[in-house]
Amino acid sequence: KGGLIALLDEACMFPRSTHETFAQKLYTTFKNNKRFVKPKLSRTDFTVVHYAGDVTYQADHFLDKNKDYVVAEHQDLLNASSCPFVASLFPTLPEESSKSSKFSSIGSRFKLQLQSLMETLSSTEPHYIRCVKPNNLLKPAIFENTNVIQQLRCGGVLEAIRISCAGYPTRKTFYEFVNRFGVLGPELLEGSNDDKIACQKILEKMKLENYQIGKTKVFLRAGQMADLDARRAEVLGKAARIIQRLMRTYIARKQFVLVRRSTTHLQSFVRGTLVRNLYECMRREAAAVKIQKNVRRHKARESYLLLQAATVTLQTGLRAMSARKEFRFRKETKAAVHIQARWRCHRDYSHYKNMQRAVLTYQCAWRQRLARRELRNLKMAARETGALKEAKDKLEKRVEELTWRLGLEKRLRTDLEEAKAQEIAKLQETLHDLQLQVEEAKTMATKEREAARKAIEEAPPVIKETPVLVEDTEKVNSLTAEVDQLKALLQTERQATETAKKEHAEAERRNEELMKKFEGAEKKIEQLQDTAQRLEEKATNMESENKVLRQQAVAISPTAKALAAYPKSPFQVCHIPGTCILYKYTLIFIKMT
C-alpha cells in the first residue's frame, strides 16, 4: 500500500481521474486505518488524525496543484540562470527520479526533499530550539495559556516530554557516573577497577529503583539525577565544612597562643606597677588616719563635756516646769471628768432603751410579714386543690369515654379493615385531645395560682390563721377521699385493661393493626396512672405543708418570752430566733426594711 502522496501521484498520471475519484480511492484504501476519518456530510473531504489534533482536508484541487507543469528543458534553462534567486527557484532534480519516470509532481518532489532532510538529521546530532509566541498582542509579560499550550502541543514538545519521562531521560557513561558520584561511596571504589560494578554498588547504596545499567551507560529515570546531585552536594558540603572547621581551628589556636603569651607579659608588668602604687597609697592613708583619729578624739571630748553640762541644766528646768503644768491640769480637769462620766452614763442608758423598743417593733413586723406570706401560700394551695379536682373530674370523664370506646372496638373488631383503621385514628385523636386538655388544666391552675397571689398581695394585711387552717384540712381530707376514689377507678380500669389485653392477644393473631390499637390504649392507661400518682404526691405535699404552717402559727405566739432574753450590752450578739443580727446595727436594718 502507498501513502496519500503515492495515491495522489497515481491519480495525476491518469487523465480521466477527478477529485471525486481520488477521494473515493482514499476512502476505499484507508477505511480501516485509525488515522484516517471520513466525514459524514461530504464526498470529497477527509480527516487525518495527527498527534496534535484532527485536520480536515478538501480534495477539490489536489490534482491540479500536484501537477508540475514546468517542462524539463525550461527548468534546465532557468536553473542555468546567472541570477541566484531564479536558479534557487528551479533546482536540479535527482538523477534517479528523472530516469525512473518522466512524470514529475509536487508531492514526489516534497517526498524526496523530506527523505534528504531525514538523512541529514540521522547523520548529525540535532539540538532543537522551539520558539513559542506568548500572546497575539505582541506585548511583553503577557501569556495566553491556551495559545501557548496549543503551540507546544502542535510543535511536539508535550509529546517529546511525555516520551522522555516515560523512558530514561538521563544517560551517563560508567566513567562519568563514577567520576561524578564516586564521593557518595568512596569505600566502594577501593579494590575495584570495574566502573560498571562501582556504578551498580553506588546506585544500590543510594536505594534507587527503576534504573537500568547498559553496556557502556547508566540509564536513570526522571528526577533520579537530581536526587543524586542533591546527595552529592550534601556530602561535598559536609566535607567542605569539616575542612573549614579544622582550618579555622588551627588559625584560631595559633592566634590564641600568641595573644595569651603577650597578655601574660603585659599583665605581669601592669600588676607589679599597680601593687607598688597601692602599697604607697595604703601607707600614706594609714598615717593620715592615725593623725585624724587623735585630733577628732580630742575635739569630741571637749564638745561632749560642754554639752553634758548644758544638758543637765536644761533638763532640771524642763522637768520642774512640766511637773507644775501637770499639777495644774489635774486640778482643773478633775471636776470635768466627773461631770462627763455622769452624762455619758445617762446617754448610753437612754440609747439602749430606744434600741430595745426598735428591735421589738421590727421583730413584730417581720413575723407579721411571714404570717401573711404563709396565708398567701395556703390560699394558693387551696386554689391548686380545686384545679386538681377539676382535672380529676375531666380525667374520670375521659376514662369513661375510653372504656366505652374500648368496648365499642371489641364489638366492631370483626368489621372491615378500613373501619378498624378509622377507629384507631379516632383513638389517637382523643388521646391527643386528652393531653391538650390536661395541659390546659395545668395552665389554668397556674393562672389561677398567679391570680390568687396577686389578690392576696393586694388584700389588706388581716391575719386569720385558725379558720384557714380548718378549711385547708377539710379540703385536704376531701382531696384524699377523691384520690381514694380515683385509685378505685384506676383499679377497675386496670382490670378492664387486663381483659382488653387478653382480647388484644387473641386479635393480634388475626390482624397486626388491631395490636397497635391495643398498645395505644395501654399507653393511655399508663398515662392516667401517672397522673393519679402525681395527684397523690401533691396531696401528701399539701399535708406536710399544712403541718409546717400549723407549727409556725403556734411558734409565732411566744415572741414576748423571747424578747425577755435580749442582750443588755450594745456589742453582744442577739440570739433571738429569726433575727441573727448585732444589736448595734438593728436600727439600720429596721430603716432598710
462 in a domain, yes or no?
no
The full DSSP string for 181-241 is HGGG-GGGSTT---HHHHHHHHHHHTT--S-EE-SSEEEE-TTHHHHHHHHHHHHHHHHHH
15 with 157, same domain?
yes
The 3-state DSSP class for residue 322 equals helix
209 in a domain, yes or no?
no
Rounded to whole angstroms, what are the CA distances from 283 to 13, 270, 275, 289, 296? 136, 20, 12, 10, 20
Q: Any idea what DSSP says for residue 143?
A: -
Gap between the Cα atoms of 472 and 139, Å rounded = 102
342 with 235, same domain?
yes
Rounded to whole angstroms, what are the CA distances from 196 to 193, 218, 401? 9, 9, 104
- pLDDT number for residue 251: 95
- CATH number for the domain harbouring residue 25: 1.20.58.530
- pLDDT number for residue 277: 94
The 3-state DSSP class for residue 442 equals helix
- 41 phi, psi to nearest 5 deg: -105, 25
Q: At residue 429, what is the residue type?
A: E
164 with 309, same domain?
no
Gap between the Cα atoms of 350 and 137, Å rounded = 111
User: Number of structural domains, the chain?
Assistant: 2
Q: What's the Rg (C-alpha) of the chain?
A: 63
46 in a domain, yes or no?
yes
- pLDDT number for residue 253: 95
Any idea what the Cα angle at residue 191 is, between residues 188 and 193, rounded to 5°?
A: 90
158 with 245, same domain?
no
- pLDDT number for residue 243: 95
144 with 277, same domain?
no
Gap between the Cα atoms of 276 and 527, Å rounded = 113
531 in a domain, yes or no?
no
39 with 139, same domain?
yes
- 17 phi, psi to nearest 5 deg: -75, 145
Domain that holds residue 341: 225-380
344 in a domain, yes or no?
yes
Q: Which three cell numbers stand for residue 155?
A: 510543535
Domain stop point among 347, 380, 413: 380
Q: Are 233 and 212 in contact (CB under 8 A)?
A: no
Rounded to whole angstroms, what are the CA distances from 108 to 4, 74, 76, 114, 217? 11, 19, 18, 10, 41
261 with 164, same domain?
no
Axis-axis angle for helices 465-510, 224-411 (nearest 10): 100
- pLDDT number for residue 576: 38
Per-residue pLDDT tens for 474-527? Answer: 666 776 777 677 677 777 777 777 776 777 677 667 767 766 766 776 777 777
Gap between the Cα atoms of 204 and 209, Å rounded = 8
Which residues of the chain, if any, have pLDDT below 50? 96-101, 461-471, 557-593
Per-residue pLDDT tens for 312-359? Answer: 999 999 999 999 999 888 888 888 888 888 898 989 988 999 998 899
230 with 156, same domain?
no
Residues in the chain, total = 593
Gap between the Cα atoms of 55 and 78, Å rounded = 36
- pLDDT number for residue 93: 63
- 202 phi, psi to nearest 5 deg: -65, -45
Q: At residue 588, what is the residue type?
A: I
- pLDDT number for residue 295: 94
389 in a domain, yes or no?
no
270 in a domain, yes or no?
yes
402 in a domain, yes or no?
no
- pLDDT number for residue 556: 53
- pLDDT number for residue 410: 73
259 with 327, same domain?
yes
123 with 50, same domain?
yes
Q: At residue 409, what is the residue type?
A: E
60 with 153, same domain?
yes
Domain stop point among 126, 144, 171: 171
152 with 275, same domain?
no
Domain stop point among 323, 347, 380: 380
